């Protein structure tokens, strides 16, 4: 890898591009509050370094904000995250705080 490639990688990694970071999923905040769980933190970077984009997109997830109606019932029935997080490919979604782990920074207004 060249110095230019390394520099570009560092720039992209720090630019807030969702491909390289965590994504907070909070579109269903009202139902999550009622259930007593925090918003979901999806470690996109963790999945991205292990899999090519086509593993998840577009067969499992549509690449458009708000296009995926994700809920726990669907996940437990093998849709969305549940396609892999089924206890066979990856850990089962039985421990809420593994995904519902977003804690806003205390210094953020």
Longest dimension (CA), the chain: 51
Task: Decide if 11 is inside a domain.
Answer: no
Residues 6+ apart with CB under 8 A from 91: 85, 98
- Rounded to two decimals, what is the model's pTM? 0.74
Structure confidence by residue, pLDDT tens digits, 67-88: 999 999 999 999 999 999 999 9
pLDDT confidence tier of residue 11, bands split at 50, 70 and 90: very low
- Helix (H) or strand (E) holding 48, with range, is helix 44-48
Span 42-57, average pLDDT: 94
Average pLDDT, the chain: 83
Task: Decide if 91 is inside a domain.
Answer: yes
- Is residue 80 a contact partner of residue 60, using CB atoms and an 8 Å limit? yes
CATH number, position 31: 3.90.10.10
Residue 51's SS3 state is coil
Task: Decide if 106 is inside a domain.
Answer: no
In this predicted structure, the answer to whether residue 44 has a pLDDT above a threshold of 80 is yes
Task: Decide if 105 is inside a domain.
Answer: no
In this predicted structure, the answer to whether residue 97 has a pLDDT above a threshold of 60 is yes
């Amino acid at each position: 890898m060249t110095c230019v490639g390394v520099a570009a990688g560092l720039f992209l990694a720090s630019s807030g591009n969702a491909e390289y970071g965590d994504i907070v999923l909070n579109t269903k905040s009202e139902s999550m509050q009622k259930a007593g769980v925090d918003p979901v933190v999806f470690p996109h970077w963790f999945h991205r370094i292990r899999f090519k984009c086509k593993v998840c997109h577009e067969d499992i997830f549509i690449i458009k904000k708000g296009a995926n109606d994700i809920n726990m019932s669907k996940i437990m029935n093998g849709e969305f995250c549940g396609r892999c997080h089924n206890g066979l490919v990856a850990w089962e979604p039985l421990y809420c705080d593994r995904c519902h782990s977003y804690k806003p920074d205390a210094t953020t207004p």
